[in-house]
Each structure stands twice: as C-alpha cells, then as structure tokens.
Amino acid sequence: MTLYQKKIVLGISGSIAAYKAPMIVRELIKRGAEVRVIMTPSAEKFVSKTVLMNLSKYPVAIEMFEDDIQSGGSWHIQLAHWCDAMLIAPCSATTLARLATGFYDTALSIVACAVPKHIPLIIAPAMDSDMWMHPAVLRNVQKIEEDGVIIIPPETGELASGIIGQGRLPEIDLLLEYVEHALSISTSSSYSTDASQSGNNKSISIVSKDYITDALLDRDSHLDSEQKIQPQIFYGKKILITAGPTIEKIDDVRFISNFSSGKMGYALAEQAAAMGALVTLISGPVHLPMPKGSIKIIDVESAQQMYDKTVASFHQTDIAILCAAVADYTPKNQISGKLKKGDLGENMIVELIRTPDILSAIGKSKTSQQYVVGFALESENAIQYGKEKLVKKNTDMIVVNSVHAPDSGFQGDNNTVTILAKDGREVSYPAMAKHDCANAILYSIGAMINP
C-alpha cells in the first residue's frame, strides 16, 4: 500500500518535536498524498502555521471557529470523513489525555473524535522520558489503544532536555510506514467480539496454545491459502524475514549458490503482513513476483551482504525469522573480470573461506523481548540436529525440514516441517502448501509470544 492519492489529516500538538512537522508534510506530499493540517494552540509555539499552510496548500486549523476553515459549521465532521487516515505526530501528553478521557476542547481533539471507526487514527507520542513513563500517561496510552487507536511507540535517544531515554519522535520514514501499513489492513480481517454479556470489549485471540493453526482447520478450508482471512495477531509487530539463496562470486561470470527458490520466505512475508506485521524482507536473488502486502524489501546477493543488512535491521525487530539458504563458504579471492578457461588448465581450484554465521550473531545479540526463529535443512537425523541447533544458536524456535522429504523441497510449492520450540514442544506437519506452512509457523510463534 502506497500513499499515492491518499488523503491524510496531520495533527500537531505542543511538543518540541513539532519542528519536524513541515518535513512530515513534505514527505507525505512527496509520496503522493493530499495533506490537511490541524494544530493545537501550543503547537504554534514550536512551528509556524504559515509554513505548514504553504506546504500543504490548505488552510491550517487551530481554533474551532476560524473563518477560513468554516464550511457550513461542520467542517470538523467533513474533514474527519474526507481523510483516509489521521496521523497525530507529535502527540503531547496533554493531547493524549484529552483523547483518552473524551475531553475534546481543541480543534485537533474534536476532529480525532469525529474520525469514523473504519478510518485509521494513528498517534505518535513524543515527550520527555519521565513524562512518557508516568503512570497516568501509560494508562492513557492503554485506554486509547483499547479504543482502536494505533500507537507508534516513541524511540530511545537523546531528548530535548539532554536526557537519554524513551520519548523521541520516530524517524519520518517509520511514521509513514505505520500509516501505509494501517491503510493496507482491511477492517474485515480483524477477528473480535464485543463480549456484550461480560460487559467488556476485547479482541479475542484465536491462537491455540497447542500450535493448532487455523490454516489447517475447516473454517476456511474451501479457500485458497492466499485468500484465507487472517486475524491480526502481529498487528504493529516488526518482523524481519530472510529469504532465498545467496550467490558467492568466483569472478564476474561464475558463482557458487544453491537451489533455494525463496518461496518459503516470501510466503512467510506475505502471511505475516496479512496478520498485521510490519515486515522487512531481506531477499537473495530470486525469480518470484513481488510479495503482497505492506512489506519492505531489501535485495542482497552475497552472504556478507545478507549478514550486514540482517544485523543492521535486527535491533529494531520484534521477531526475526531467518529462512534464507545462506552460503556457508565464499571464495577467498573474488576475481574482477572473467577467468580464462585456457589459463586455468585441467583443474580449477577455488579456495573457500567461511561466511559469517547470521543466526549465531542474531542469537547472541537478541534481548529477552525479541523472538528468533531459525531454519535447519538436514539430510539425516534432522530432528536431533535441529534440537542441537536450537540450543547452540540461542534461538527460540527451529523449523526443521529434510532434504529427502517427498513432495517438498527448494523449488516446489510444498514443504514438510517439524517445529521445535525452546520450551520443548515438538510438532510435525505433513506436506502442505508453503503458504499453509507459513501459517503453521506464524501461528506457532503467536502461541509462544501471546500465551
């Protein structure tokens, strides 16, 4: 989902991070969006209304009854229904409190109140770390999340006060990634119940603690695997997936690689996005169509490139699924140009050196809040080797598949896997389509992180 021809209302409240608002407007417009801006009176202390008006090409609303924004007396309703999404960035502690308690005394809060339920309301709080961690602020965040608002958590770094802590407004690319992602998610794909008999309104997780996956149940068995409606069990989670082979150049013509098609990794990326995740897919060279959904793709060729991109992306990842078939060895000396056959003689000798172990590096650096899944392709004693790899690489889950499994393999559309979890659970699945296999893996992860 892109922002081309999307109508976005940008709300700005009184945070020092409001100085970034003109850059947010410019980037939205650069991506093809039409932007209308609303500010709180205190926001005008940090950023000029005139600048925002010139950038957006629309009047900027601050007070409810300004003459230049009136249109029949109900401009706030018209604006709330005009937009495809509303983003409040930055959102101050005061504006958070207004939205959480229903105290709508500013133009910004009134428009936010009027946004229909099917239109995403996305909020990026920004404040000092002590303010962010205040119990009242955290209660307000929880309350508006329960009301269906999407919260973009603030980042950790140096704040305006000079303190190092959580409270920074995220980078603009990440803000807009959340907006694009929210627009890409259909409201029809969310499973919830109003639990009217119990007097509350909570989303009901349909993830089984026993790894039973909806992909294998009768609920949607009449649909193709790609058409099955997915519950949003990973909504807002950042999932990093690696896929495909790597190629290790001998010279500019010859290389060492493997038979990986990337189909399993791409299926995981598509299904994770359908389940609400913000997916980054690091892909080796494949011959596959672009995956569907809100997926950021990073193309690489070599094992070293995949290592560099994976390690660089991992620190901001909630879940990493390392599915790529990365070369274990690479030529020690990669030749520029083409080696001439006549110069090589009857035997061509290529000295190989080990490539970096991506899964080991990720396992060593992961925090208790991160979940890491590795893959193990074995030709014999697959389960035993998988269990050893689970411990040795410090992963939370290993997906084992066998080279010799019938109706499975790199180039095919099916896979046969056994899932080994850190808590000792072991579940084997029959051969099934790779999209169904992706569902099984993802539901297993969901069952572990949402017990």
Residues 98 and 239 in one domain: no
Residues 173 and 281 in one domain: no
Cα(353)–Cα(187) distance, integer angstroms: 50
Q: Catalytic positions, please? A: 258
What CATH code is carried by the domain that includes residue 279?
3.40.50.10300
Residue where a domain terminates, one of 169, 184, 199: 184
Predicted confidence at residue 1, as pLDDT, reads 54
Residue where a domain terminates, one of 163, 184, 205: 184
Predicted confidence at residue 449, as pLDDT, reads 87
Residues 150 and 255 in one domain: no
Answer yes or no: is 128 within a domain: yes
Residues 29 and 105 in one domain: yes
How many of the other CB atoms lie within 10 Å of CB of 251?
16
Cα(165)–Cα(373) distance, integer angstroms: 29
Residue where a domain terminates, one of 184, 206, 227: 184
Predicted confidence at residue 407, as pLDDT, reads 65
Answer yes or no: is 209 within a domain: no
Predicted confidence at residue 12, as pLDDT, reads 97
Answer yes or no: is 193 within a domain: no
Answer yes or no: is 200 within a domain: no
Predicted confidence at residue 197, as pLDDT, reads 33
Answer yes or no: is 1 within a domain: no
Give every residue of the chain whose pLDDT is below 70, as ranges. Answer: 1, 67-73, 185-231, 406-411, 451
What CATH code is carried by the domain that includes residue 67?
3.40.50.1950
pLDDT tens digits, 392-423: 999 999 999 877 776 666 667 889 999 999 99
Q: Total structural domains in the chain?
A: 2
Residues 298 and 444 in one domain: yes
Residues 35 and 146 in one domain: yes
Answer yes or no: is 370 within a domain: yes
pTM value?
A: 0.59
Residues 260 and 363 in one domain: yes
Predicted confidence at residue 146, as pLDDT, reads 85
Whole domain around residue 85: which residue ranges? 7-184
- Considering only CA atoms, give the Rg of the chain: 25
Answer yes or no: is 198 within a domain: no
Predicted confidence at residue 189, as pLDDT, reads 37
